[in-house]
Amino acid sequence: MSHAPLGVAFIGGGFMADVHSRAARAAGARIVGVTSSSPAGSRVAADRIGADVAFDDVDALLADPAIDVVHVVTPNATHHELTTRVLAAGKHVVCEKPLATTVADALDLEQRAAAAGVVATVPFVYRFHPMVREARARVAAGQVGQLFSVQGAYLQDWLLAADDDNWRVSTEAGGASRAFADIGSHLCDLLEFVTGDRLARVQALTSTVFAERASTGPVHTEDLAGVLAQTHAGAVVSLLVSQVAPGRKNGLVLELHGATESLRFEQERPEELWIGARTGSRAHLRNNDELHPDAARLAVLPPGHPLGYQDAFTAFAADTYAAVRGTHPEGLPVFADGVRAARITDAVLASARKGTWSEL
Ligand code: SOE
């Protein structure tokens, strides 16, 4: 492959187009263009993200040979149709999570991407914090020991009021699950990524705190979910996912308890990994000389210069683009991981509906 910058474009002009385009630019790509819900919207988005071209529609964008990678950053229910068109155009693709609103659609996209022979990734970006990779490396090296239990949470408050609303609340635009599909998917991806174990069965409760919301009308998606689970290796898992937890803004927390040590990662304090032990528990602050290689490669700034959410997104984009150029970066979240998230979401909703365990 030439080392000219990759040309990237965005389908969708909202908040995630901003995050993705900042990451793409920092990862060395050329921001060729963007298309949104209308030609006027495309022009507004192009000005805001600094794209060369405001494409009138998806077809015009996909016809541009200067575009190597397309980022799909639209509401969930459009992912399957738009990503299918991107793959048919032979472009590499980044599709926001959830990959699709059903397991069947997610599986279809995984199969189409494999048939097209392109790179197809999903931004489970919390994998890209160096201290997450450090936790994963400690587990893999046996420093945690046999995994006994996992406690996890992903708590936000942006939908706390009855007049808070968003397309994610609507079943038609967001899919059957909201809180769990939107942020529980990150939590479960991180749990399985760090532990190397897999959820085997789940028992779930969901709750919808407002029967109606401002612009959605009647609400059929959950504001929060509680999940009890067991992993294939037998660990007991307890998870809480909520978008109505006052004061919690992006409170993703994962804590593992093993025979030898515990580990705790908090997304809002990403430079630190708490290491618990019978004696000598400590807050392990990122120090590049002490990191395992896969964590060190993501530590692009010296200690004491905090790496955060946007840096993790940049690392995800950089690894996606490296894969487009033919390398195989460790831990890249691909469409198979999007299918996994869809399966877990399905199992959680089924369990909440039936009141019994769902097997995975
Ligand atoms: C809203 O819940 C949201 O933007 C999610 O959609 C993202 O995946 C998460 O990283 C932050 O919160």
Atom of ligand 1 nearest to the CA of 243: 2
* Other Cβ atoms within 10 Å of 146 Cβ, number: 11
Q: Measured in angstroms, how far is the CA atom of residue 184 from the centroid of ligand 1?
A: 10
Task: Band the pLDDT of 216: cuts 50, 70, 90.
Answer: confident
Q: Look at residue 280 in the predicted model and tell me its pLDDT.
A: 97
- What is the Cα–Cα distance from 330 to 319, expressed in whole angstroms? 9
Element (H, E) at 258: strand 251-258
Task: Band the pLDDT of 2: cuts 50, 70, 90.
Answer: low
CATH number (domain holding residue 344): 3.30.360.10
Q: Is the pLDDT of residue 1 over 90?
A: no
Where does residue 338 rank: exposed (0-12), middle (13-18), buried (19+ CB within 10 A)?
A: buried
Residue 55 resides in a domain: yes
Q: Nearest Cα to 324, choosing from 24, 36, 61, 46?
A: 24
Identify the residue whose C-alpha is closest to ligand 1 atom 9: 183
Give me the residues paired with residue 224 across strands: 207, 242
Residue where one domain finishes, among candidates 69, 99, 125: 125
Q: Measured in angstroms, how far is the CA atom of residue 98 from the centroid of ligand 1?
A: 10
Tell me: the pLDDT tens digits for 90-104?
999 999 999 999 999
- What is the Cα–Cα distance from 181 to 166, expressed in whole angstroms? 15
Q: What is the mean pLDDT of residues 300-322?
A: 98
Residue 211 resides in a domain: yes
Tell me: the pLDDT tens digits for 218-258?
999 999 999 999 999 999 999 999 999 999 999 999 999 99
Residue 324 resides in a domain: no
Residue where one domain finishes, among candidates 125, 158, 183: 125
Residue 323 resides in a domain: no
Place of tokens 């160096």: 130
* Ramachandran angles phi, psi of 40, nearest 5°: -65, -40
* Other Cβ atoms within 10 Å of 82 Cβ, number: 19
33 shares its domain with 76: yes
CA 177 to centroid of chain Cα atoms: 15
Q: What is the mean pLDDT of residues 161-181?
A: 96
Kindly write down the DSSP assignment for every residue of 66-106, as one continuous string.
Answer: T--EEEE-S-GGGHHHHHHHHHHTT-EEEEPSSS-SSHHHH
183 ligand 1 Cβ < 6 A: yes
Return the best residue to mutate from 125, 182, 252, 345 for the ligand 1 pocket (most ligand atoms within 8 A of CB). Answer: 182
The count of structural domains within the chain is 2
Angle made by CA atoms 115, 117, 119, in degrees to the nearest 5:
120
Angle made by CA atoms 219, 224, 229, in degrees to the nearest 5:
130
Q: What is the mean pLDDT of residues 116-120?
A: 98
- What is the Cα–Cα distance from 219 to 301, expressed in whole angstroms? 44
Residue 2 resides in a domain: no
Q: Nearest Cα to 180, choosing from 148, 221, 234?
A: 221
Q: Measured in angstroms, how far is the CA atom of residue 260 from the centroid of ligand 1?
A: 33
Q: Look at residue 3 in the predicted model and tell me its pLDDT.
A: 75
Q: Measured in angstroms, how far is the CA atom of residue 182 from the centroid of ligand 1?
A: 6
Residue 107 resides in a domain: yes
Q: What is the mean pLDDT of residues 52-67?
A: 98
What Cα–Cα distance (Å) separates residue 29 from each residue in 4, 66, 74, 205? 9, 12, 20, 43
310 ligand 1 Cβ < 6 A: no
What Cα–Cα distance (Å) separates residue 324 from each residue in 235, 312, 317? 37, 19, 11
Q: Measured in angstroms, how far is the CA atom of residue 61 from the centroid of ligand 1?
A: 26
- Which parts of 94-246 fold into alpha helices (H)? 103-116, 130-140, 171-174, 179, 185-195
Residue 230 near residue 200 (C-beta atoms within 8 A): yes
Identify the residue whose C-alpha is closest to ligand 1 atom 10: 183
Q: Look at residue 215 in the predicted model and tell me its pLDDT.
A: 83
Measured N-to-C along each axis, helices 309-324 and 15-26 cross at an angle, to the nearest 10 degrees, of 60
250 ligand 1 Cβ < 6 A: yes
Task: Band the pLDDT of 55: cuts 50, 70, 90.
Answer: very high
Q: Measured in angstroms, how far is the CA atom of residue 265 from the centroid of ligand 1?
A: 18
Q: With the C-alpha atoms ordered 302, 303, 305, 310, is the resulting torsion angle positive or negative?
A: positive
Q: With the C-alpha atoms ordered 50, 51, 55, 58, is the resulting torsion angle positive or negative?
A: negative
182 ligand 1 Cβ < 6 A: yes
Helices and strands, counts by H and E, the chain:
12, 17
- What is the extent of the structural domain holding 40? 7-125
Tokens at 190, concatenated: 């991180």
114 shares its domain with 226: no
Q: What is the mean pLDDT of residues 332-337?
A: 98
- What is the Cα–Cα distance from 87 to 91, expressed in whole angstroms? 6
88 shares its domain with 183: no
Tell me: the pLDDT tens digits for 148-157?
999 999 999 9
Residue 292 resides in a domain: yes
Q: Look at residue 311 in the predicted model and tell me its pLDDT.
A: 98
Q: Measured in angstroms, how far is the CA atom of residue 223 from the centroid of ligand 1?
A: 14
115 shares its domain with 135: no
